[in-house]
Structure 1
Amino acid sequence: MATEPVLSDGQIDLCGTVIGAGTTVNLIEITGLGRPPVRDNDHDQPSMDGSWPGPDYFAPRSVQIDAAIKTPGDPTACEAMLAALQQPAWDPTVRLTGGATTHLRIKRPGRPTKRLEGRLRRLDAEYAQVKHGYMPLDIEFLATDPTWYADTATTTEIPLGWLTGGGFAAPVTAPLYVQDGATAADRPGWATNAGTADAWPIIRITGPCSNVTIIHADTGRTLAMPALTLTAGQWLEIDTRPGHRTVTRETGGNATALLTPASRIDLFSLPPGTSEMRWTAYDHTNTARMRLTWRDAYTAL
């Protein structure tokens, strides 16, 4: 994966191309950075004034950017910049793949860089003054997930803490905790979402282990896979992110059927603050691991 550019105050990374302060693309106006649009479910109250408010769901966030390429006296450089901005929209790995997204990263003065995931929907250019090295741009980025996310991902790895049979290696210190092989071992861990909105983790279980249950201790929500068996080197990944929500094996195969009916990956989020995570499994080697990867989530830029 290519390294993403470090942004300075007043810059935007639009699908891999930096625009804004210190570049040849001036930002004139940006809209769509506030509260995203809402899909309401209000209903008029029969024979009464007013309405009954139903659930409000956020619609995709449309970020509109009014910009202009300025390369005085150099129309060739002007058109080259336009070509660079257009190129990501032609990437077939995004354009022709359902659910695939690209990014919009923004660095506001005095604020950390945050990002949106979505698609570049419009990039219109005016050519009237290109001979002078000036080209106004009308850009739209549609964030299919309207939540703002931290620019860098956080990862934590949680081992199984106690043996499920098979003995232990010296040296050892008291106190000792040993279980027989009849009960799956469990180990608490902690995941901190430093944001202000629910974050959605990618959870990877790496074998050898079997009969896996992942528990969010604060809410009691679980993801149970009693029929799962992983040998050494095999893994299963649960992606809880909106627009993804998949369960895959190391072969790339769909493993959603391994989850019990009560396992809701669409509810398995990390709320703001610290969450206690537990997981249980049978593992006589004590080498199985659970890895959580997430981006802190925010309601505002």
Structure 2
Amino acid sequence: VLLTAAIMRLIEEAGFPPGAVNLVFGPPSVTAQVVSAPEVDLVTFTGSAAVGSRILTLAAPTLKKVVLELGGKSPNIVLPGTDIEKAVPASALRFTRNSGQACGATTRTLVPQAEFDEYVERSGKFLGGLTVGDPHHPDTVLGPLITGEHRRNVEGYLARAREEGAEVPVGGGRPPGLDDGFFLEPTLVTGISNDAEIAQEELFAPVGVVMPYTDLDEAVRMANGVKYALNANVWGPTPDALAFARRLRSGTVTINGGGGMRGDAPWGGPGHSGIGREGGEEGFREFFEVKHIQWPV
């Protein structure tokens, strides 16, 4: 909210006409009025799939255009021939950044069966060395979750996973000495199938699952076997990783970490990850309507 307010001040200072851009605070009832208003031609939303579905329902009577950037349960695929020592730290940070509260976090890691134990062991050592604490401290890597209710929801997922036989070799609890704040340890979950709740649902927390696969066809089925399709990352020799990436149902696929997201790249994905794209030329074009004019020649 504070960042949005600061952007609004910059818009005013830049000389935008009054009323061209408006910032409105209010409860869901205000949002419902705006989304359903016939004067509004387009609605773009970033958030959860549940709210995105509600926005579609409200927009339907006026048949307005809707662009949705929603959630993800994104795969991180380790191919045979990958440098495991290099892939582990980068993969761990991809699901723990911002304490896992990122829609594009690659929280499902798929590893060849032969390298599974090594990957889990190395991941455990790396995650165990991450500092959880005050975000203002320079040594902190993971800050708190956004609310106490959200942390309780995540703990519920972990409890149900354990009841179903999952193993939690790293984390899974509240870090000691951090009673003030909604902190959660970076967590690794193993011993689950791809259809387990914790492997299917977006947790929005520093919780990653690691699952083995036997061949590339199974890895593709597992990677694509969720309702989300926002993001993915593939580790491996570049030609192999590119070939695998083409088989993924995902709005974005990075290869070997991707080198950072480009500012002009489109962002979004099909399924429960949304409709349309944000960012880049594709996102810019979402705000246009195509008009065809024809005359006799």
The TM-score normalised by the length of structure 2 is 0.25
Give the number of the structure whose residues are more often strand, by fraction: 1
The TM-score normalised by the length of structure 1 is 0.25
Larger radius of gyration: 1
Give the number of the structure whose residues are more often helix, by fraction: 2
